[in-house]
Amino acid sequence: MKCKRLFQNLVIHVYPCAVFLIMLICIFFHKIKYATKGAILFPPFLLIILGSIFFLGIYSMTNYFNLKQRKIYILTFSFFLFLMQLFFVYNYYFHTDWDVEILMKFSDLYAHNQDISDYRWYFSIYPNNLFLAWIFSAIRFLAHNIGLHAHEYFVILSFQCLFNAATGYLLFCIIEKLFGDTLFSSFGYTIYVLLVGISPWVSIPYSDSMALIFPSIYIYIYIYIERDKANSFLMWFFLGICSAIGYKIKPQTFIMLIAIVLVETFDDIKRTELKKKLLNDLIIISGIIIGLYIIKSIVSTIPLTIDKNMSFGMAHFFMMGMNPVDMGVWSENDVIFSGTFATCAERNIANLHEAWNRIKDMQMIGVIKQLVRKTLTNYYNGTFSWGMEGVFFFEIFDPKNTPICGFLRSLYYTGEYADIGKYYVLWSNFEQMLWMTILFLNIFTWHVPKNKYFCTIMLSILGLTIFELLFEARARYLYIYAPLYIILAVYGFRQCIILRGNHLEKYSDMIENNQEKS
C-alpha cells in the first residue's frame, strides 16, 4: 500500500510541475530559434487569457443546454461530425510528399498487383511502416472491388474521418466514467471537436490519424475492466492485441500500455494480489505476442524482400534528437550517415557514439538549450506543425464546385499557397489559443483524485514527453495523445470552477458578516 501511494503521489505531483515547466518555456522562450517555428501573432499570455474566457463561454453554453440524454445526443453528433469531416476533406484534400507519398504509391501498386520492388529500400530502412502500407493497400483493394477505383485515396481518408469521430465519442465516455458528470463530458467533447475534430490532419493518410484512436481505446478498456471484472481476462487480452496493432501503426502508442502495466503493478502489491497481477501481465503479453504474430503473418504475404541490416533503430533517432544543427528534428545528413553502415550492429554503435560526441560538444548549457528548443518544437504549435513536413502541398487539385470549398482552403492552405490560405493565420492562432489553454489547465491537476486512471494518463504523457525530448522531435507526435491532454484540462478547468465558487462563497459570507456587525 505504501508503494502504491508513493508511486501515485510521485506521478501526480511530478506531472503538473512538468507541464508548468513546459508552459514557462513556451511563455518566456518562444521567440528563440527552434525547428518548425510557426507564425503565431499573439503572445502566450494573451492567448491563455482569451482561451480561458472562451472555455468559460463553452462551459456556460454546455451548462445552458441541460440535456438529459447527453450520451445519445453526443453519439448522434459524432455521426454528423463524421459526415461533416467527409464533406470538408473532400473540398480541401491534396497530395503531400515525404513518407506519405511513398506509402500511397506503394499501396496503389500493391492493391492492383503491380511491381513494388522499387520500395524495398524504404521498407528495409523503416520496416514498421510496412503494416501501415498493408492497411492502406487493403482499403484500396476494398474500394476498388466495390466500384470506387477512382476514389481509393479518398476512401482511405474516410476511414481516418471515422476514427477521428469515434475517438471524440470515446473521449466523452471516458470523461463521463472518470468524472461521473455528463456536463464536463460535453465540455471536453466540444474542446476535442475544435482542436482535433476540425483538424486537417485527418486529410493526411499516415500513422498520426490512423493511430489517433488507440490511446483512447487503451484507457477506455482499462476503465471498463474495473467495471466488468467477470470478463477482465478477455479485456486484458484484447488490450494486448490492440497494443500490438497500435505499436505497428505508431510506436508512440505503446507508451500508454507501459504506463498501464506500471500503474497496475504498483496499484496493489499484497501477496494475495501478486498472483493476479502477474497473471494479468501474462495475459497482456500473450495478447501482444499473438497480435504481433498475426501482423507478421499478414506482412509476410507482401512479396517484398526486406534487408534487416538496412533498418534504422532507436539509436539513429536518438542521434537525430541530439543534433544541435537541425535542432533535434529529422536530418537528411543523419540519414545519409546512418545509411553508410552495412549492419544494424555497426549502425547502432556509430549512432550512439555520434550522439554521445554531440552531447559532450554541447556540454551542459548546450544540452539544456537543445531540450528547450525541442520542447518548443513539440509543444508550441496548436496545429501540431501542420504544413511543416517536406513539400507539404505537393499537388493541389482543382477547386470543388461547392460554396464552402474556397473558405476551407483559405483556412488550411499555407506556404507557397498563402494567397489561397488568407485565413490560415486566424485558424492557426485559434488552434494555438486552444492548445495553450489546454496545457495551462493541465497545471491545475495537483489535486487530481489519487486513482490509477488519472495516474496512467499523466504517466503516459510524461513518458511521451521524455521520449520526444530524447529522440526525434515532432509536434504531430503529440496529436494522438491530444484526447488525454483534454481529459486532464477538463479536470483542471473543473478545479478552477470549484476554487472560484469557494472563493465567491467565502466573499459572500464575509459581506454578510460585515452587514450583521454594522
The 10s digit of each residue's pLDDT in 278-315 is: 788 889 999 999 999 999 999 999 999 899 999 999 99
pLDDT tens profile 116-166? 999 999 999 999 999 999 999 999 999 999 999 989 999 999 999 999 999
Measured between alpha carbons, how far is 106 from 87 in angstroms, rounded to an integer?
26
Helix/strand number for the chain, H first, E second: 20, 0
Measured between alpha carbons, how far is 269 from 271 in angstroms, rounded to an integer?
6
Q: Give the predicted TM-score (pTM) of the model.
A: 0.93
Vertex 247, ends 243 and 252: CA angle to 5°? 110
- CB half-sphere exposure, 154, CA atoms < 13 A: 14
What's the pLDDT score for residue 279? Answer: 83
Phi–psi pair at 395, nearest 5 degrees: -145, 115
What's the pLDDT score for residue 180? Answer: 84
* The one-letter amino acid at 388: M
Measured between alpha carbons, how far is 104 from 116 in angstroms, rounded to an integer?
12
- CB half-sphere exposure, 481, CA atoms < 13 A: 30
Measured between alpha carbons, how far is 164 from 211 in angstroms, rounded to an integer?
10
Measured between alpha carbons, how far is 46 from 432 in angstroms, rounded to an integer?
11
> Taking the mean position of all CA atoms in its chain, how far away is CA 110?
29
| Contact indicator for 306, 343 with CB cutoff of 8 Å | no
Query: Sign of the CA dihedral 51, 55, 58, 60?
Result: negative
Q: Which of 166, 145, 168 is nearest to 155 (CA)?
A: 145
Measured between alpha carbons, how far is 155 from 210 in angstroms, rounded to an integer?
13
| Contact indicator for 415, 369 with CB cutoff of 8 Å | no
Instruction: From first to last of the 518 residues of the chain, give the pLDDT tens digit.
Output: 566 677 888 888 899 999 999 999 999 999 999 988 877 889 999 999 999 999 999 998 887 776 667 788 899 999 999 999 999 999 999 999 999 999 999 999 999 999 999 999 999 999 999 999 999 999 999 999 999 998 999 999 999 999 999 999 999 999 999 988 888 999 999 999 999 999 999 999 999 999 999 999 999 999 988 776 667 788 999 999 999 999 999 999 999 999 998 888 877 666 566 677 778 888 999 999 999 999 999 999 999 989 999 999 999 999 999 999 999 999 999 999 999 999 999 999 999 999 999 999 999 999 999 999 999 999 999 999 998 998 899 999 999 999 999 999 999 998 667 677 788 999 999 999 999 999 999 999 988 777 889 999 999 999 999 999 999 999 999 999 999 999 999 999 998 887 665 544 443 444 344 444 44
Q: What is the DSSP string of 83-115?
A: HHHHHHHHHH--B--HHHHHHHHHHHHHHTT--
Vertex 442, ends 440 and 446: CA angle to 5°? 120
Measured between alpha carbons, how far is 325 from 35 in angstroms, rounded to an integer?
10
What's the pLDDT score for residue 419? Answer: 72
| Contact indicator for 90, 405 with CB cutoff of 8 Å | no
Could you tell me which residues come within 8 angstroms of residue 455 by beta carbon, excluding any fewer than 6 positions away?
A: 7, 8, 11, 12, 263
What's the pLDDT score for residue 504? Answer: 43
Cell reading at 232: 477482465
Measured between alpha carbons, how far is 102 from 107 in angstroms, rounded to an integer?
9
Cell reading at 162: 471515422
Measured between alpha carbons, how far is 6 from 386 in angstroms, rounded to an integer?
40
